[in-house]
Structure 1
Amino acid sequence: MNNGGLPRARIRVAICGGGISGLCLAVALSKASNVEVNVYESAQRFSEIGAGVMIWSRTWRILEQMGLADAFSRIAHAPPDGSMGIGFDYRRSDGPEGFDFYRVQMPYGCIRFHRAQFLDVLIDRLPTGVAHFGKRLRSYSQSNNGPIGLRFSDGSMVECDVLLGCDGIKSVIRAQMLRDRAKENNDGSLLDLIDPVWSGTIAYRGLIPAERLNEEHRALGAPMMYCGQDKHVVSYSISQGSVVNVVTFSSNPNEEGRPYGGPWVVDCEREELLESYSGWEPEVTELLQCIDNPTKWAIHQLKPLPFFVSGRVALIGDSAHAMVPHQGAGAGQAIEDAYIIACLISRASEATVDLALQAYELVRLPVANHVLEGSAESGKMYEFNSQHGDDYRILGRAIERQWDWILWPSPNEDLACALDWVSQQLMLRREGGYA
């Protein structure tokens, strides 16, 4: 929009949350000349809990588009080269003798990183002065035409034109958005979507230096999915192959959706972990015996949301679609959110940014919710609790079909659809047919 030859006013974007989604978004938006971006992080520094992160080919292409491929290649388990690779090897392991029953392959295979190193690549590219720490959001206020007011727990207040909620699975922004919409529409069912629900699954996590394992151990090679009744164990190498990330899952399907008492993440004794997988095949036992300080996690997820956007407030990443980790998709979906909404906002003006946010929701909500639900179903398959049971011939192909979304229209194709929709809406506005 040409303001009589004057420079166009910059859109003030506030990002609440400095995890993978928030930092990826900030890096992307910091390159846009029409945007002033600030990141508000509740902690005193950027940090991530958890050890490993994996992405797939469609996310890798986003990192290439952002000019980050070289930096991420240097910290990946191996530099991605575009060839077909192993997604996971699936093996029945809850007995004294395990056996392979399926292998899923896909372009680029499973691209994996140490989570802290992944975050550091983004932090290193964040412009000076963008990050603000110790800023825990308490609430926001939004009017039709005026700025959005943000109130933080330390008593400070700021204003912005667009608020992007990257504040995770316990999102304050999601809670207020749903409460406000429930009140506005007299729809109490929206209140049931605010809080995450327990999946009925407990996970144990740990890191193992690669040299502690037998050099022929399968976990040093391909990503492994060791499957058993109501349980499974995931392992894959990170940090250029020097470390093996291990996550074990133990599920009680009858507990899914019930309240979980106690903290979600605690330290635990190795003996508890070993007891939980007693009787499993030796190579799984060897893995678990090498975990010195396991942590115990209660795995929660969101129910699918009917919207990600309200006015000029939008939810990104886990605040919108926190999912169980059974397809290693959480980080990738967050990056996809960030990339598409950053591209849309960077092409908008203050007068059209509302359309940019609506277009983001239009293309991202169905994909992210599909992956959220598919991740939960995949976990049931790995633990022989799906409709396919342990019929390996049918189960293997069903597991592979769960990954079809990786080959769906690319993020750039989704972006093109979103931009086309914005153009159509602007044309309707000019013709007086857009309310």
Structure 2
Amino acid sequence: MPTAKLRVAICGGGIGGLALAVALSKYSDIQVDVYEAAGQFKEIGAGVMMWERTWKILDQLGLSEDLSKAADTPPNGFPGIGFDFRRADRETGFQFHMYNPPYGCIRFHRAHFLDVFVNHLPSGVAHFGKRLLSYEDRHSNSQVILKFADGSQGTCDLLVGCDGLKSTVRKQMYDQAPFKEPTLKIVAEPIWSGWVTYRALVPADRVRQANGGKETRTTTTPMMYCGKSKHIVSYPIFQGRIVNVVGLVFYPEGEGKTFDGPWVTECDGAEVIKHYVGWEQEVQDLLRHVDKAMLWAVHSLRPLPMYTSGRVALLGDAAHAMTPHQGAGAGQAIEDAYILAALLGEPSITALNLWKALSAYESIRLPFANRVLRESAVSGKMYEFNSIFQDNYTSLGPAIDAQWSWLWESTPEEEVERALKRMRGLGVKHKL
């Protein structure tokens, strides 16, 4: 084995962190260590969705065959149903829009999705029970010192914070920013989006049995049930055996404020149903099968002004945690990983000129991911008739589609080429 030209420490073993580890494992001269605070890799939540753009990355990483086995409906290259949009907050609902992108909405049980990444990790990469307390970016000897809660330490040439919305890495990066802006600490703190979600899993057989043994829209199709200041997302996962249900309620007075109370709590089905009284029958038929749900206060980040500082970078939710309205959070983390790995894997990049790769990564990913972050919040308001289009269905439908324009305006391959070109054009050495 060649001597590692770079030692990369990944803090956080969620989807973004594991995607980066898998992508970097393609380069034999890069040493990768994944530090996970928990005792094993695990994902909170139930469903995760992908679009065509992300699927192409997963295919290039060599994961598509295994992920096809885990997908509810493996992509076949043709247009499919992204979401079926219905006006549902009335006794008689109706479809007002259908979003049909290439490949449709590719859906997974989140745990099964993560398992595919875990199974593609090289041995010896994962380190559990390693909760990062702080890091020290030592400019004098070109390395980063990692300090963990168990008293141990580690070293690396590059630390990548993949530690989520409440990122320890992001907090320290912004606390120690080389340019002291009074607002930086505030910008780096999570904010309440104004939405709460009720997340539940419903056995699809129960829904079918209640429908005389026949399939329903909720057991076969990604659905978006829309109402004023509320909506419900549902789609089948686990090869149609489970319906993932997410009910959302918007409190406009809370947007951008501090949430008063625990961010995640458990509740019963009655708590969910009370928010959707009077909605169309198929919504009632679905919700009455919800025995319990997890109530989440949906938090996100403001668009950040930087993703890198010195020998430290942010990735995924640590950089751009967003609302779930475009099903884009996991995909954007994977795109971060794809581009960062391509830059670090370039033969010319070493610990001495690492700044070039990080500068190019930030210049490409920061504006793109921040755009998706903003568009996601706008989409949620569209689904709830709180945008400038209100319930003008003729203009609202095309506007909803346009919110996803980032999916097709470029390709991940083009973004990598832009990043590589940007990196190769950097000639002045910066001090790390």
Q: Do they superpose with TM above 0.5?
A: yes
Corresponding residue of 2:387: 386
Is this contact kept in 1: 2:2–2:28, CA < 8 A?
no
Secondary structure at the aligned position of 1:96 is classed as coil
Is this contact kept in 2: 1:34–1:349, CA < 8 A?
no
Give the stretch that moved more between structures: 57-66 or 212-221. Answer: 212-221
| CA pair 9-217 structure 1, distance change in 2 beyond 3 A | closer
Q: Deviations over 1:394-431 (max 9, x none)?
A: 111111100101102111111111111121114x66xx
Residue 100 (str. 1) matches residue 95 (str. 2): yes
Give the stretch that moved more between structures: 314-323 or 71-80. Answer: 71-80
Question: Percent of counterpart pairs with the same letter?
Answer: 53
Aligned partner letter, 2:358: L
Aligned partner letter, 1:44: G
Q: Deviations over 1:328-383 (max 9, x none)?
A: 00000000001111111111222222211111111111110000000000000001
Q: CA deviation at 1:144?
A: 2.5
Distance 1:282 1:272 in 2: 18
Aligned partner letter, 2:272: L
Give the stretch that moved more between structures: 255-264 or 114-123. Answer: 255-264
Corresponding residue of 1:369: 370
Structure 2 length-normalised TM:
0.96
Q: CA deviation at 1:9?
A: 4.3
Corresponding residue of 1:59: 54
Q: Deviations over 1:104-143 (max 9, x none)?
A: 1111011010000000001111112111111111111113
Q: CA deviation at 1:258?
A: 1.6
Q: 1:112-261 to 2 correspondence within 5 Å?
A: 112-145=107-140, 146-181=142-177, 184-213=178-207, 214=211, 215-261=214-260
Is this contact kept in 2: 1:9–1:350, CA < 8 A?
no
Q: CA deviation at 1:207?
A: 0.9
| CA pair 361-53 structure 1, distance change in 2 beyond 3 A | same
Q: 1:2-151 to 2 correspondence within 5 Å?
A: 9-145=4-140, 146-151=142-147
Distance 2:240 2:304 in 1: 38
Corresponding residue of 1:401: 402
Corresponding residue of 2:329: 330
Distance 1:112 1:386 in 2: 27
Q: CA RMSD in A?
A: 1.6
Residue 424 (str. 1) matches residue 425 (str. 2): yes
Q: CA deviation at 1:31?
A: 2.1
Moved over 4 A (4+): 6-9
Distance 2:345 2:19 in 1: 14
Distance 1:7 1:292 in 2: 55
Structure 1 length-normalised TM:
0.95
Distance 1:245 1:160 in 2: 40
Q: Deviations over 1:4-28 (max 9, x none)?
A: xx95543111000000001111111
Distance 2:104 2:4 in 1: 44
Is this contact kept in 1: 2:7–2:158, CA < 8 A?
yes
Distance 1:303 1:374 in 2: 12
Distance 1:335 1:280 in 2: 36
Corresponding residue of 1:273: 272
Distance 2:159 2:300 in 1: 23
Distance 1:78 1:394 in 2: 30
| CA pair 77-9 structure 1, distance change in 2 beyond 3 A | closer
Is this contact kept in 1: 2:53–2:407, CA < 8 A?
yes
Distance 1:361 1:60 in 2: 22
Distance 1:226 1:170 in 2: 30
Distance 1:363 1:239 in 2: 35
Q: Deviations over 1:254-291 (max 9, x none)?
A: 21112112211111011111111111111001111111
Is this contact kept in 1: 2:42–2:111, CA < 8 A?
yes
Secondary structure at the aligned position of 1:21 is classed as helix
Aligned partner letter, 2:377: A
Secondary structure at the aligned position of 2:55 is classed as helix
Aligned partner letter, 1:43: A
Distance 1:194 1:259 in 2: 14
Q: Deviations over 1:209-267 (max 9, x none)?
A: 11111324211222110000010000111111221111000011121112112211111
Aligned partner letter, 1:55: M
Unpaired stretches in structure 2, ≥5 consecutive residues: none
Is this contact kept in 2: 1:200–1:252, CA < 8 A?
yes
Give the stretch that moved more between structures: 277-286 or 211-220. Answer: 211-220
Secondary structure at the aligned position of 1:119 is classed as helix
Is this contact kept in 2: 1:236–1:244, CA < 8 A?
yes
Distance 2:397 2:74 in 1: 28
Distance 2:2 2:383 in 1: 56
Corresponding residue of 1:3: none
Give the stretch that moved more between structures: 24-33 or 372-381. Answer: 24-33
Distance 1:141 1:62 in 2: 33
Distance 1:255 1:24 in 2: 34
Is this contact kept in 2: 1:425–1:434, CA < 8 A?
no
Unpaired stretches in structure 1, ≥5 consecutive residues: 1-5
Secondary structure at the aligned position of 1:37 is classed as strand
